Structure 1
Amino acid sequence: MSRVGFISLVYFACFGIPAQAQTIPRYDVASYCQQVADVSGGSAMIRNGCMDMEQQAYDVLKPVWSQLSGTSRNYCDEVARVSGGSYSILQGCIEMETDAARSPRSFEY
C-alpha cells in the first residue's frame, strides 16, 4: 500500500468518514416500508404511502446531497440508519441540522 493510501485509510478509519460521503446513502426502502406496514397489521395502504414518502424525500435530497456539510451528512445518515434506513428521517434530520446551524446559540453568564 502506498503512503498516501495508508494515510487516507487511517484518516477515514479514525474519523469515521465514509469514502462515498458525497453520494447519497442507499437504504432498503422496500424492507423499511414493509416493517412500517407490519406494525399496522400489514396494510398495503400504509406500505404504499411509506414508499411515496420515501421517494419524495429521496428526490429532494439527491440533487443537494453533495452540497451539505459532511458533518450533517454523516450524523443524519447514522440517525436514519438507526430507524432501519429512511430517507424521510434523513431529510428531517438534515433540515433540523441546517436550521440549527443558521441559528447558533450562545451562553451568557
Structure 2
Amino acid sequence: MFGIEDDSVFTAFEEEELIDPCPRKTVDGRSIYVSRELQIPKAWGAPVLCDLGSAVTGKVEHLEDVQPDIYGAPEVIVEAPWSYSIDIWNTGCVVSFLSLSAVKEPTP
C-alpha cells in the first residue's frame, strides 16, 4: 500500500458523502456502507506496511490463505505449507512493481 500525500482526495470524498450519502444498512447494530470510489491522488507517498493484524510467527509453517492470488507466493497459491519466505516474495513484488514504473504520477 502507498501513502497519499494529496489530502484533497479525502476532502472530495467527504464532500461527496455529505451531498449524496451512499446506501447503507444496519446489521446487529453495525452500519454497513456501499463502497464509494476514491479519486486518484495527485501525489503518492512512500510505501506503507499495513494489515499486520494477520501477522504470524515464522518459526512454524502455516496453511492459511493470506495473500491475494495476483500477488500470492507459489506455496500460498498451491495451498502448500508456508513460512516467512512469502514475505520475501512480497518484497520482490513491490520491487518489481516500482522498478517497472507501474506507479506513475497521475495526470490532471
| Fold shared, TM-score > 0.5 on shorter chain | no
Which structure carries more helix by proportion? Answer: 1
- The structure having more radius of gyration, on CA atoms, is 2
Which structure carries more strand by proportion? Answer: 2
Q: Give TM-score, length-normalised by structure 2.
A: 0.29
